């Protein structure tokens, strides 16, 4: 038997480290049980942690599609459950426990999850694949699961142009929210000529700049955007915490494909566990010759460094992120020029987010056709969502694009039909979709047509108790706080919109205020410099579109 205890932030915060220790101690006292125990990655049902997976049979190879012969998932385990768990496994070879009511193991049996439930059954895992088998802190564990095979295959058997073609044919689109075709972005950077980094005042004086930032010759960069900041979103955090090598492997393949030799992982400092594991992973990969010079015995060099974001939401915007890495204030600049041609220190720079890069190795291993067969015509593959709010099963899921919101909320999330009012997708840039529209397929185009966006994958489910004017106010407060202040429409406009929302919320607004609110929202969309301001009005406009009555009922001159 193998016992995997979740060591991602969610389960750690409710005591999984203590559970792991207790199981290890118990197993040490019973060597005849022949147990292999390790800390592993997130198993999705984050609200019911600590989660423990027990598997029997050989560990399946990555992307083999195979599962262990038998697998049981236990939820809400405590250190006190360890003796019953180990005793049970000692007795059993592979069958599930048959426990008499009132026996010492009866509480354990009650904590067993039904893996045939829609929450587990409906998932298709590409990015989250094998999280339950991989110890995030050991490269050996990732290698045993087939890790870095795709990178070595690329370096020894494929030309960069063939890799870009594979990614293009897969139909992978950027998972950070924009949905830009990944192959096209890679191809633009590959075609751009490498430049010597500009010796700008800011880069030379940057506290973060290292000798490696300033090479003698021309250079291109690959950046992993891990500045996840949407309220309610924790997909990227989990991927970084649970499979840091998968992201590094994706970065290295991307770098080889576009001709880059240096990369940055731009991670929020508020993710200390992710940062710690990434640091470990980089050292481990360098020691194994999978990062650094002459990777895998080839002529390809790729070095990766971590840069910490200081908590500014706007630094998730590409040009602000570049400024931040260069040691300047994290503010966006007008585009074009786009980072693909004129990025970090003026060099062509490929920027992809965590989930995008975590798809790459699987596409190389299984092929573009396999990936393109998942999802819909225009939105291929899967999407990871962080489910939060008024449903029973909150946590992390990965589903094929095209699945309906109803299936996610009511079947997988076990939300009560009739009690759910709306789902908010896309964070402060997204919108609220009412329950009547839950038949909609989840893909880039369908969500946009409803005035929301896919965003990076946060999904907040709201019940009938949610006041939609308050919901809009919450997200606008966030945007006011996070506006960098560079352009007037956003700096002044978001504050004015918030003041109007507060006035209406207090029951002091008039019909004229409501009209002005709408006018300002459109102005924000049309005149703001970057995506933050351009999309800040989306939560207001979508709640106005679907829940206008709630605004009108609060007006003093409501007739
Ligand atoms: Fe800054 Fe907002 Fe203007 Fe973007 S839209 S540049 S966040 S002030």
Q: Ligand 1: does its nearest atom lie under 6 Å from the Cβ of 33?
A: no
Cα–Cα distances (Å) from 13 to 48, 83, 277, 433, in that order, read 11, 22, 17, 31
What is the atom index within ligand 1 of the atom nearest the CA of 485? 8
DSSP letter (8 states) at residue 217: S
Residues 395 and 415 grouped into a single domain: yes
In 359-377, which positions are buried (b, 16+ CB within 10 angstroms) versus exposed (e)? bbbbbbbbebeebbebbbe
| 32 in any annotated domain | yes
Q: Ligand 1: does its nearest atom lie under 6 Å from the Cβ of 500?
A: no
| 221 in any annotated domain | yes
Rg (CA), the chain: 24
Task: Give the pLDDT mean for 263-291.
Answer: 97
Element (H, E) at 514: helix 511-527
Cβ pair 143, 290 in contact under 8 A = no
Minimal-distance CA residue to ligand 1 atom 1: 484
CA–CA gap between residue 291 and residue 491 (Å, rounded): 42
Residues 88 and 40 grouped into a single domain: yes
Residues 439 and 486 grouped into a single domain: no
Mutate to test the pocket of ligand 1, among 318, 429, 495, 532 (most ligand atoms within 8 A of CB): 532
Residues 329 and 398 grouped into a single domain: no
pLDDT tens track for 463-482: 999 999 999 999 999 999 99
What is the atom index within ligand 1 of the atom nearest the CA of 488? 8
Is the confidence at residue 63, as pLDDT, over 50? no
Q: Where is average pLDDT lowest: 4-8, 65-69, 176-180, 457-461?
A: 65-69
CA–CA gap between residue 191 and residue 188 (Å, rounded): 5
Is the confidence at residue 109, as pLDDT, over 90? no
Is the confidence at residue 62, as pLDDT, over 70? no
Residue 286: CATH number of its domain: 3.40.50.11540
Q: What is the pLDDT of residue 215?
A: 54
Residues 432 and 288 grouped into a single domain: no
Task: Give the pLDDT mean for 4-19.
Answer: 97
Residue 433: CATH number of its domain: 3.10.20.600
Of 445, 463, 481, which one is at a domain's C-terminal end? 463
Q: Where is average pLDDT lowest: 177-181, 256-260, 403-407, 409-413?
A: 177-181
CA–CA gap between residue 325 and residue 316 (Å, rounded): 12
Total domains in the fold of the chain: 4
Residue 14: CATH number of its domain: 3.40.30.10
Q: Where is average pLDDT lowest: 211-220, 339-348, 352-361?
A: 211-220
| 120 in any annotated domain | no
CB within 8 Å of 515: residues ≥ 6 apart: none
How many CB atoms within 10 Å of residue 424?
Answer: 30
Q: Ligand 1: does its nearest atom lie under 6 Å from the Cβ of 366?
A: no
Q: Ligand 1: does its nearest atom lie under 6 Å from the Cβ of 487?
A: yes
| 290 in any annotated domain | yes
CA–CA gap between residue 27 and residue 198 (Å, rounded): 58
Q: Ligand 1: does its nearest atom lie under 6 Å from the Cβ of 532?
A: yes
pLDDT tier for residue 422 given thresholds of 50, 70 and 90: very high
pLDDT tens track for 243-259: 999 999 999 999 999 99
Q: What is the pLDDT of residue 58?
A: 55
Residue 478: CATH number of its domain: 1.20.1440.230
Cβ pair 263, 286 in contact under 8 A = no
Of 442, 463, 484, which one is at a domain's C-terminal end? 463
Is the confidence at residue 100, as pLDDT, over 70? no
Residues 284 and 361 grouped into a single domain: yes
CA–CA gap between residue 202 and residue 322 (Å, rounded): 12
In 386-408, which positions are buried (b, 16+ CB within 10 angstroms) versus exposed (e)? bbbbbbebbbbbbbbbbbbbbbb
Helices (H) and strands (E) in the chain, counts: 23, 13
- Ligand 1 mean position, distance from CA 540 (Å): 18
Residues 319 and 365 grouped into a single domain: yes
DSSP letter (8 states) at residue 76: S
> Average model confidence (pLDDT) for the chain?
91
Of 415, 448, 463, which one is at a domain's C-terminal end? 463
Q: Ligand 1: does its nearest atom lie under 6 Å from the Cβ of 529?
A: yes
Residue 461 burial (C-beta neighbours within 10 Å; 0-12, 13-18, 19+): buried
Task: Give the pLDDT mean for 61-90.
Answer: 77
For every residue of 439-457, DSSP letters joined together read: TSB-SHHHHHHTT---TTS
Is the confidence at residue 241, as pLDDT, over 50? yes
Residues 450 and 520 grouped into a single domain: no
pLDDT tens track for 536-558: 999 999 999 999 999 999 999 87
> Which one has a higher pLDDT value, 520 or 60?
520
**With the C-alpha atoms ordered 393, 399, 402, 403, is the resulting torsion angle positive or negative?**
negative
> Which one has a higher pLDDT value, 94 or 244?
244
Q: Ligand 1: does its nearest atom lie under 6 Å from the Cβ of 486?
A: yes
pLDDT tens track for 488-505: 999 999 999 999 999 999
Element (H, E) at 89: helix 82-91
Mutate to test the pocket of ligand 1, among 491, 525, 526, 534 (most ligand atoms within 8 A of CB): 491
Residues 301 and 179 grouped into a single domain: yes
Residues 526 and 406 grouped into a single domain: no
- Ligand 1 mean position, distance from CA 494 (Å): 10
Residues 296 and 389 grouped into a single domain: no
Q: What is the pLDDT of residue 211?
A: 46
> Which one has a higher pLDDT value, 512 or 452?
512
Q: Ligand 1: does its nearest atom lie under 6 Å from the Cβ of 335?
A: no
Q: What is the pLDDT of residue 184?
A: 98
| 124 in any annotated domain | no
Structural domain for 317, as ranges: 141-372
Q: What is the pLDDT of residue 181?
A: 97
Q: Ligand 1: does its nearest atom lie under 6 Å from the Cβ of 493?
A: no
Cβ pair 215, 366 in contact under 8 A = no
Cβ pair 223, 207 in contact under 8 A = no
Residues 216 and 307 grouped into a single domain: yes
Tell me which residue of 129, 99, 130 sits closest to 112, measured CA to CA: 99
Q: Ligand 1: does its nearest atom lie under 6 Å from the Cβ of 332?
A: yes
Q: What is the pLDDT of residue 65?
A: 43
């Amino acid at each position: 038997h193998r016992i995997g205890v979740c060591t991602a932030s969610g389960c750690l915060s409710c005591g999984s480290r203590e559970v792991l220790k207790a199981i290890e101690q118990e197993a040490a006292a019973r060597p005849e049980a022949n147990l292999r125990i390790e800390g592993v990655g997130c198993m999705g049902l984050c609200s019911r942690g600590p989660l423990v997976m027990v598997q029997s049979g050989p560990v399946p190879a990555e992307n083999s599609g195979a599962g262990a012969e038998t697998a049981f998932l236990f939820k809400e385990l405590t250190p006190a459950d360890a003796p019953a768990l180990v005793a049970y496994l000692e007795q059993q070879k592979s069958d599930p426990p048959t426990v008499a009511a009132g026996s010492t193991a009866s509480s354990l049996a009650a904590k067993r999850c039904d893996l045939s439930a829609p929450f587990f059954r409906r998932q298709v895992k590409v990015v989250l694949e094998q999280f339950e088998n991989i110890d995030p802190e050991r490269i050996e564990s990732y290698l045993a699961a087939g890790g870095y095979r795709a990178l070595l295959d690329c370096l020894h058997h494929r030309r960069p142009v063939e890799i870009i073609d594979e990614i293009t044919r897969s139909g992978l689109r950027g998972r950070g929210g924009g949905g830009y075709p990944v192959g096209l972005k890679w191809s633009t950077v590959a075609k751009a000529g490498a430049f010597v980094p500009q010796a700008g005042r800011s880069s030379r004086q940057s506290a973060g700049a290292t000798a490696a930032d300033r090479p003698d010759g021309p250079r291109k960069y690959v950046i992993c955007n891990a500045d996840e900041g949407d309220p309610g979103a924790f997909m990227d955090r989990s991927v970084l915490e649970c499979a840091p090598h998968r992201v590094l492997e994706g970065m290295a393949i991307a770098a080889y494909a576009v001709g880059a030799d240096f990369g940055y992982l731009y991670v929020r400092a508020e993710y200390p566990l992710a940062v710690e594991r990434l640091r470990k992973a980089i050292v481990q990969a360098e020691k194994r010759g999978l990062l650094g010079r002459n990777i895998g015995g080839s002529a390809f060099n790729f070095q990766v460094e971590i840069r910490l974001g200081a908590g500014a939401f706007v630094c998730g915007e590409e040009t602000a992120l570049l400024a931040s890495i260069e040691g300047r204030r994290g503010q966006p600049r007008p585009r074009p020029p786009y980072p693909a041609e004129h990025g970090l220190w003026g060099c062509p720079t490929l920027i992809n987010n965590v989930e995008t890069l975590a798809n790459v190795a699987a596409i190389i291993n299984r092929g573009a056709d396999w990936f393109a067969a998942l999802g819909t015509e225009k939105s291929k593959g899967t999407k990871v969502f962080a489910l939060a709010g008024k449903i029973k099963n909150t946590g992390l899921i990965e589903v094929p694009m095209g699945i309906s919101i109803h299936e996610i909320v009511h079947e997988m999330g076990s939300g009560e039909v009739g009690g759910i009012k709306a789902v908010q997708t896309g964070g402060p840039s997204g919108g609220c979709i009412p329950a009547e529209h839950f038949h909609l397929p989840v893909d880039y185009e369908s969500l946009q047509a409803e005035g929301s966006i896919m965003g990076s994958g946060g999904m907040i489910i709201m019940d009938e108790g949610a006041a939609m004017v308050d919901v809009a106010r919450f997200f606008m407060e966030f945007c006011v706080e996070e506006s960098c202040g560079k352009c007037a429409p956003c700096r002044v406009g978001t504050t004015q919109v918030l003041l109007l929302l507060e006035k209406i919320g207090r029951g002091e607004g008039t019909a004229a205020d409501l009209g002005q609110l709408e006018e300002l929202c459109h102005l924000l969309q049309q005149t703001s410099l970057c995506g933050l301001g351009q999309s800040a009005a989306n939560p207001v406009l979508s709640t106005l579109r679907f829940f206008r009555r709630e605004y009108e009922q609060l007006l003093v001159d409501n007739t």
